[in-house]
Amino acid sequence: MRSITFFGLLFFSIVLNAQKFDGLAKTPPMGWNSWNKFACNVDEKMIREMADAMVSSGMKEVGYEYIVIDDCWQVSRDENGNIVPDPIRFSSGMKALADYIHSKGLKFGLYSCAGSKTCEGRPGGRGHEYQDAKMYASWGIDYLKYDFCNTDAQKAEGAYKTMRDALYAAKRPIVFSICEWGSTEPWTWAKNVGHLWRTTSDIMNCWDCKVNWGGIGWTLIMDKNEPLGKYAGPGGWNDPDMLQVGNGVLTDVESRSHFTMWSMMAAPLILGNDIRSMTPAIKEILTNKEIIALNQDTLGKQGYRWWTLDGNIELWLKPLANNEIALCFFNRSEVVKTIDFDWNRYFSHLNGKTYGVTDKTNIRDLWLKKNIGSTKNNLKATIQPHDVLTIRLGK
């Protein structure tokens, strides 16, 4: 009898600990991460400046919240196995940096890796999960991106569950960002493990390029992420990687499309540019409240490619709360296209789902930021190559 009670208690304590923090990331996380622009060139001065810029640029006000340092902040472990931040680049320590970021009303994130070393060869978390989680909690970390390099025979699901349990045991609510590049289909197992999971290899700073180690441009990333919509929702998001908007290669039009498609796909909006020095056009793209509202919509549905019109115009649909929807016409071609969209014809294919659309529903263009008529007549428009027409249908 005594042993049954003991094993019963053990069982319940394991089950009770086997969970992620609930109530976090109810809408896709928004923030900034150092990797896409700075790679290993990170230090506390720059991170503080990013926090300052987040506030002064108005980005905090439209919802960006997390400041995340990616790889290379860590250099070694001390004699007790504690992770050691770079003493030169982060001479004030991570607690002081967290305090600074929190004083701005923002949240702080760090990167580590499930393997013995990070992708850049810094100390990884393997075998130190509980110790690291406690350290992160003591510093005041709010978000952990956890990579999957140098993992040998480790199994991703088990490795991420160990870190999840370690974070839970450390008792500080931390958003857990899984980054194994979609290799083990985390969308099938990660809902109770993390709050977001990468679905693809790394995003490159281009429209559709491919590099030999697997990195791909944003339109190709989008194609891989698109079919996974049914796995995403409040508290657990498909993550098609961080934004490349503002990193100097994409045109303003392509940047606008990239930002729109990430919003339509309910993807985490993690900026990857230098937010201290943005052109007015890039700043306007990244702070468009009406596009961000699609991303942050409380229904939490990932938009999908509903139709391909006339060759290369993709029509995407995102259901929204309160029986509204967003549609995005995306001209992926190299030539100017026109549309003449007959509402009855297309909506008759939605199996009775009208999303509140009648023959007089209001249409709002979210980039022009104005109402452009109603569904009474066909929607006629001209769309430039690589550009989007993004509309919201509602009251």
Which residues contribute to the site for ligand GLA (CB under 6 A)? Answer: 35, 70-71, 111, 118-120, 147, 179, 181, 202
- 74: which residues sit within 8 A by CB, 6+ positions away? 83, 84, 85, 86, 112, 118, 122, 123
Instruction: Tell me whether residue 18 or residue 211 sits nearer to ligand GLA (CB atom).
Output: 211
Annotated catalytic residue 274: no
CA 297 from chain centre, in angstroms, equals 14
**What's the CA gap between 279 and 301, in Å, rounded?**
31
In the complex, the smallest distance separating the C-beta of residue 130 from ligand GLA, rounded to whole angstroms, is 23
In the complex, the smallest distance separating the C-beta of residue 277 from ligand GLA, rounded to whole angstroms, is 22
Instruction: Tell me whether residue 68 or residue 325 sits nearer to ligand GLA (CB atom).
Output: 68
Tell me if residue 352 falls in helix, strand or coil: coil
Sign of torsion, CA 48 50 55 56?
positive
**Residues 290 and 369: beta-carbon distance below 8 Å:** yes
In the complex, the smallest distance separating the C-beta of residue 77 from ligand GLA, rounded to whole angstroms, is 18
CA 350 from chain centre, in angstroms, equals 29
Annotated catalytic residue 208: no
Q: Tell me which of 132, 147, 239, 274 is the catalytic residue.
A: 147
Phi, psi of 377 (to 5 degrees): -115, 165
Tell me if residue 113 falls in helix, strand or coil: strand
**What's the CA gap between 252 and 317, in Å, rounded?**
23
**What's the CA gap between 306 and 255, in Å, rounded?**
22
Strands 66-69 and 74-77: unpaired
Instruction: Tell me whether residue 111 or residue 139 sits nearer to ligand GLA (CB atom).
Output: 111
Q: Tell me which of 70, 142, 165, 202 is the catalytic residue.
A: 202
In the complex, the smallest distance separating the C-beta of residue 120 from ligand GLA, rounded to whole angstroms, is 5
In the complex, the smallest distance separating the C-beta of residue 180 from ligand GLA, rounded to whole angstroms, is 9
Instruction: Tell me whether residue 203 or residue 317 sits nearer to ligand GLA (CB atom).
Output: 203
The residues annotated with a catalytic role in the active site are 147, 202
